[in-house]
A and B are shown apart, each in its own frame.
Chain A
Amino acid sequence: MTHALRGRRSVAEPGRSPGKAVLFLLPALLILGALVVYPLVYSLFRSFFDASGSRFVGLSNYVETFTDPRTLIAFRNNVIWVVVAPVAVTCLGLILAVLTERIRWATAFRLILFMPMAISLFASGIIFRLVYEEDPERGVVNAAMVGVHDVFASPSPYPGARPRSEFDASEDGYTGTATVSRGGVVSLPLVGYSRQQLPDSARPVSQPEAGGTEVRGAVWLDVSAGGRPGQIDPAELGLPGLTVELLRDGAVVSKTMTGDDGRFTFPDLGPGEFSVRLPADNFALPFRGLTWLGPTLVTPVIISSWIWIMTGFAITFIAAGLSAIPRDALEAARVDGATEWQVFKRVTVPLLAPVLLTVFVTLVINVLKIFELVFVIAPGSVQEEANVLALQMWQVSFGSGGDQGVGSALAIILFLLVAPAMLYNIRRFRRERS
């Protein structure tokens, strides 16, 4: 085991003919020089010129970039992305890659996780735009949440309905502003509810008569063709099954429910002034799930979709790395009585470290360049909250009438941001050699 470990650590000694390096490198350097380095240098120069490219403006494009409040949000989001997403994907990829070695359907599993990568980012973005859609009739996440919620809570009878007037709205419900004493009659015209949604049992309403020791009243839907507001018209229907409360000095003294014609009665009342309240649970709006693509949740949601896409990438490379690990190293540790966890921690992970680092760095860079996903998933109204540097660069330089100067400055900044990660990576390899 130790032998194998030592063997894998590269203690590279110089090749014998350095001149040959040029031959190996030539094709790559030619292409990179012409098509990548030249544009980069071009951008560097371009970043010191204004939008038209004709006037030298010094560092003002950079100043503009850093003073734009959107850049700060983009920076913040980029930090969140970089801290969370690559680590999550690398860990997930490592765990899944190791575990897939223990199942027979490893190929099928890898294929399944690879699928998201085979779909273009644009299409993936559209998928997640739909997955997290707020409307539970179209968004699967909210549909599931509403489904679970509705198992535990029954819906209110008349969601969204409200009294036409003369009511105080509070958390408890709608309380009438006028008071009534026994023998009185209360009219409770409601609006804001569709006639088509009324239960079949609803019957036309009629004006209750005053009298006795009772308070009588009617709750009806005050909407009809040519109907008078607040008046009972012939075609108007009562609202059955609605809870009505009677209050004295703010305390509930009686409670009843309306009949099919919307009428209700509070019997055997003592003297005094009462008010009538329609409790809020009659009208509670149905649970519609969460606003996933709102300002607060949008970045985590986009990160989740990126994880969905990129895990296949991590697994593929880590699996490739795993297959190169000498099996005797693992077996030796197992024979020595190490648990699977110990084997994983002490043998697999250290041997995989170069691959993991490669995957991780690649993911970090990929995260810094991400923009299509944000562009497609975040609705326009929260695009600013979900903004990332690469997206801003795209919009600044290629929105119609875009400013290539500021765009180039942003590209250079992005480039400078990644340099430390690269240096660290190289230093690490060099340390290992010495």
Chain B
Amino acid sequence: MKRRSMIAALCALAFAATACGASTAGGDGELKGQSADIIGTWSGEEQVRFEKVLAAFSRKTGAQVRYTGAGDELPTVVQTRVSGGTPPSVALVAQPGFAAQLAKSGAIKPVSAEVEEAVGDNYAPIWKTLGSFDKKLYGVYFKVANKSTVWYNRKAFEDASLSVEQPASWEKFLETSRALADAGVPAVSVAGADGWTLTDWFENVYLRSAGAENYDKLAKHELSWTDPSVRVALQELAKLFGDQRLIEGGASGALQTEFPKSVTNVFGEPRKAAMVFEGDFVSGVINSSTKTVVGGDATFFSFPSVNGSAPAVVTGGDMAVQFKDDEVTNELMKFLASPEAGSVWAAEGGFLSASKGIEPASYPDDVTRELAQRILDAGDNVRFDLSDLTPAAFGGSKGTGMWKALQDFLADPKKIDETMERLETAAVKAYAP
């Protein structure tokens, strides 16, 4: 019977499958034969680059490390693995709130004394604070992002017959924007379809207008969202968002624009706007999706100072946390905290570190060097992305909380009071014990 043989074949296939599996050998070293696995969000080119970092570790120690890229589902994957009793050795977590939750449940372990020392030596104290929960250090910031950069296309300024002058103050920035609009170039492309870009706009203005102290309080919700300092920040923001000529596509167009599109609006063909604000990773999109050259026509200036504020940087970052306390995991954490690991990726590009130990020469070009330097220069004036510090239901979910409130603010920037009340209501609910 023909069918019988087919069934047999299927069964054979099913059994063959369980026997399959490949492994890559590590080099010679004291940890030869041991293995660790690590989960991160990176995929594509970034994954390839990170795997080079891991290969360096393997060469050094002989241990074998496997990387899994879980993307946006990283919290889901990690939570399920922990529940299933098979946690990874190390995970690179982008949300401090998630790491705090893991620390509270005892899923992750404090770092070893050696790692703590390395962090103390190479990082500004703020990074140690960010990685600590309940006074113990759990996380090492391996890769960071500079989220206080405005990227612009030189060509757009040339076409508008404007000299390329980097505006140092918010007033000057608005003035430049208006001049661009007069010349028929919408000044800024705002990625309003992605709520997180709007939170970054707000955070940068707030950090500058209200100061680091208020910023910290607001992140912990010790300060209400109806506080006058929030109003000031929204009023400043409304000067830009409220002028439809300055925004590519107007408010309704911006609300349909996702982050990658906002970058190609400025650096792709046809060019639709002159500037786009977001983090250093804008350069990655410029490279992959447009023909414009970073460092050539594409370059950046720091988010302008508001009312004479000192330089400050809003950052994001991936924090390495460990779920195991064995030798290979500790060694891996130590490696990730060392300048050695960072230098490997730094040389590949698309990477910034907050570690002072990484030589500026490690970075492949001036633009990247500059981006990294500004984080180091800001020292303890660095603040972590506020929305990532809040509960995810408030600061990290599509279509709700801070994202949605700011999207509705972008749609109608006159509604400042309403926006503040909405933010406060959502925050009260999200911070409830």
A and B touch in the complex (CB under 8 A): yes
Interface residues of A (CB under 8 A from B): 52, 70, 133-135, 137, 160-161, 164, 191-197, 222-225, 227, 291, 293-294, 375, 378-384, 386-387, 395-396, 398-403
Residues of B contacting A380 with CB < 8 Å? 193-195, 258, 398-399, 403, 407
Q: In the complex, given contacts A400-B95, A401-B98, what are 4 additional A-B residue pairs having Cβ atoms less than 8 angstroms apart?
A: A191-B184, A195-B159, A380-B398, A381-B255
The 5 tightest CB contacts between A and B, nearest first, are A383-B399, A194-B184, A379-B193, A191-B182, A225-B161
**Distance of B147 from chain A, by nearest CB (Å):** 18
The listed residue (B161, B256, B396) touching A379 by CB distance below 8 A is B256
B183–A195 touching, CB < 8 Å: yes
**Distance of A341 from chain B, by nearest CB (Å):** 41
Is B392 interfacial (CB-CB < 8 Å)?
yes
Residues of B contacting A196 with CB < 8 Å? 159
B192–A70 touching, CB < 8 Å: no
B399–A293 touching, CB < 8 Å: no
Q: Can you sample 16 A-B contacts with CB below 8 Å?
A: A161-B184, A192-B245, A193-B184, A195-B159, A195-B184, A225-B161, A225-B163, A291-B252, A293-B256, A380-B194, A380-B258, A382-B399, A399-B397, A400-B95, A400-B98, A401-B392
Is B105 interfacial (CB-CB < 8 Å)?
yes
**Distance of A225 from chain B, by nearest CB (Å):** 4
A194–B95 touching, CB < 8 Å: no
Interface string of B167-184 (1 = CB under 8 A from A): 000000000000001111
Is B210 interfacial (CB-CB < 8 Å)?
no
Q: How far is it, in angstroms, between the C-alpha of A133 and the C-alpha of B270 when the chains are bound? A: 16
Residues of B contacting A403 with CB < 8 Å? 393
Query: Which partner residue on chain B sits nearest A226 by CB separation?
Result: B161
B397–A395 touching, CB < 8 Å: yes
The listed residue (B160, B181, B184) touching A197 by CB distance below 8 A is B184
B184–A381 touching, CB < 8 Å: no
Query: Which partner residue on chain B sits nearest A134 by CB separation?
Result: B256
Is B391 interfacial (CB-CB < 8 Å)?
yes
B75–A381 touching, CB < 8 Å: no
Residues of B contacting A133 with CB < 8 Å? 256
A384–B75 touching, CB < 8 Å: no
Is B253 interfacial (CB-CB < 8 Å)?
yes
Q: How far is it, in angstroms, between the C-alpha of A209 and the C-alpha of B403 when the chains are bound? A: 57
Q: How far is it, in angstroms, between the C-alpha of A377 and the C-alpha of B160 when the chains are bound? A: 36
**Distance of B331 from chain A, by nearest CB (Å):** 28
B75–A398 touching, CB < 8 Å: yes
Residues of A contacting B270 with CB < 8 Å? 137
Given A134-B256, A380-B195, A381-B195 in contact, is the A194-B183 Cβ separation under 8 Å?
yes
Query: Which partner residue on chain B sits nearest A397 by CB separation?
Result: B76
Residues of B contacting A224 with CB < 8 Å? 161
**Distance of B258 from chain A, by nearest CB (Å):** 7
Interface string of B53-95 (1 = CB under 8 A from A): 0000000000000000000010110010000000000000001
Given A195-B159, A223-B184, A381-B192 in contact, is the A400-B399 Cβ separation under 8 Å?
no
Given A191-B183, A375-B398, A380-B403 in contact, is the A400-B256 Cβ separation under 8 Å?
no
Interface residues of B (CB under 8 A from A): 73, 75-76, 79, 95, 97-98, 101, 104-105, 159-163, 181-185, 192-195, 245, 249, 252-253, 255-256, 258, 261, 270, 391-393, 396-400, 403-404, 407, 410-411
B392–A194 touching, CB < 8 Å: no
**Distance of A321 from chain B, by nearest CB (Å):** 24
Q: How far is it, in angstroms, between the C-alpha of A120 and the C-alpha of B249 when the chains are bound? A: 32
Query: Which partner residue on chain B sits nearest A395 by CB separation?
Result: B397
B256–A381 touching, CB < 8 Å: yes
A194–B195 touching, CB < 8 Å: no
Given A224-B161, A379-B258, A380-B195 in contact, is the A399-B183 Cβ separation under 8 Å?
no
**Distance of A22 from chain B, by nearest CB (Å):** 24
B253–A134 touching, CB < 8 Å: yes
Q: Is the interface of A mostly helix, strand, loop or mixed?
A: loop
The listed residue (B98, B160, B396, B407) touching A381 by CB distance below 8 A is B407
Residues of B contacting A191 with CB < 8 Å? 181-184
The listed residue (B101, B181, B253, B258) touching A401 by CB distance below 8 A is B101
Given A195-B183, A401-B97 in contact, is the A294-B193 Cβ separation under 8 Å?
no
Q: How far is it, in angstroms, between the C-alpha of A384 and the C-alpha of B411 when the chains are bound? A: 14
**Distance of A193 from chain B, by nearest CB (Å):** 4
Residues of B contacting A225 with CB < 8 Å? 161-163
A395–B398 touching, CB < 8 Å: yes
Residues of B contacting A192 with CB < 8 Å? 181-182, 184, 245
Query: Which partner residue on chain B sits nearest A383 by CB separation?
Result: B399
The listed residue (A52, A223, A396, A399) touching B396 by CB distance below 8 A is A399
Q: How far is it, in angstroms, between the C-alpha of A4 and the C-alpha of B431 when the chains are bound? A: 66
Q: How far is it, in angstroms, between the C-alpha of A398 and the C-alpha of B104 when the chains are bound? A: 18
The listed residue (B73, B162, B256, B398) touching A383 by CB distance below 8 A is B398
Q: How far is it, in angstroms, between the C-alpha of A70 and the C-alpha of B75 when the chains are bound? A: 23
Residues of B contacting A227 with CB < 8 Å? 161
Query: Which partner residue on chain A sits nearest B181 by CB separation?
Result: A192
**Distance of B195 from chain A, by nearest CB (Å):** 5
Query: Which partner residue on chain A sits nearest B258 by CB separation?
Result: A379
Q: How far is it, in angstroms, between the C-alpha of A270 and the C-alpha of B272 when the chains are bound? A: 47
A195–B392 touching, CB < 8 Å: no
B404–A384 touching, CB < 8 Å: yes
Residues of A contacting B97 with CB < 8 Å? 400-401
Query: Which partner residue on chain B sits nearest A161 by CB separation?
Result: B184
**Distance of B267 from chain A, by nearest CB (Å):** 15
Q: How far is it, in angstroms, between the C-alpha of A301 and the C-alpha of B387 when the chains are bound? A: 31
Residues of B contacting A160 with CB < 8 Å? 184
**Distance of A40 from chain B, by nearest CB (Å):** 16
The listed residue (B252, B256, B391, B399) touching A387 by CB distance below 8 A is B399
Residues of B contacting A223 with CB < 8 Å? 160-161, 182-184
Residues of B contacting A195 with CB < 8 Å? 159, 161, 183-184
Residues of B contacting A398 with CB < 8 Å? 73, 75-76, 79
**Distance of A397 from chain B, by nearest CB (Å):** 9
A400–B195 touching, CB < 8 Å: no
Given A381-B256, A384-B399, A384-B404 in contact, is the A401-B391 Cβ separation under 8 Å?
yes
Q: How far is it, in angstroms, between the C-alpha of A191 and the C-alpha of B160 when the chains are bound? A: 11
**Distance of B431 from chain A, by nearest CB (Å):** 12
Q: How far is it, in angstroms, between the C-alpha of A64 and the C-alpha of B364 when the chains are bound? A: 51
Q: How far is it, in angstroms, between the C-alpha of A398 and the C-alpha of B83 when the chains are bound? A: 14
The listed residue (B76, B181, B400) touching A384 by CB distance below 8 A is B400
Residues of A contacting B256 with CB < 8 Å? 133-134, 291, 293-294, 379, 381
Q: How far is it, in angstroms, between the C-alpha of A281 and the C-alpha of B391 when the chains are bound? A: 50
Q: How far is it, in angstroms, between the C-alpha of A191 and the C-alpha of B75 when the chains are bound? A: 50
**Distance of A235 from chain B, by nearest CB (Å):** 8
**Distance of B247 from chain A, by nearest CB (Å):** 13
**Distance of A61 from chain B, by nearest CB (Å):** 13
Residues of A contacting B184 with CB < 8 Å? 160-161, 191-195, 197, 223
Q: How far is it, in angstroms, between the C-alpha of A325 and the C-alpha of B392 when the chains are bound? A: 54
**Distance of B159 from chain A, by nearest CB (Å):** 6
Q: How far is it, in angstroms, between the C-alpha of A295 and the C-alpha of B396 when the chains are bound? A: 21
Residues of B contacting A197 with CB < 8 Å? 184
**Distance of A59 from chain B, by nearest CB (Å):** 16
Q: How far is it, in angstroms, between the C-alpha of A193 and the C-alpha of B397 when the chains are bound? A: 38
Query: Which partner residue on chain A sits nearest B78 by CB separation?
Result: A400
Query: Which partner residue on chain B sits nearest A229 by CB separation?
Result: B182
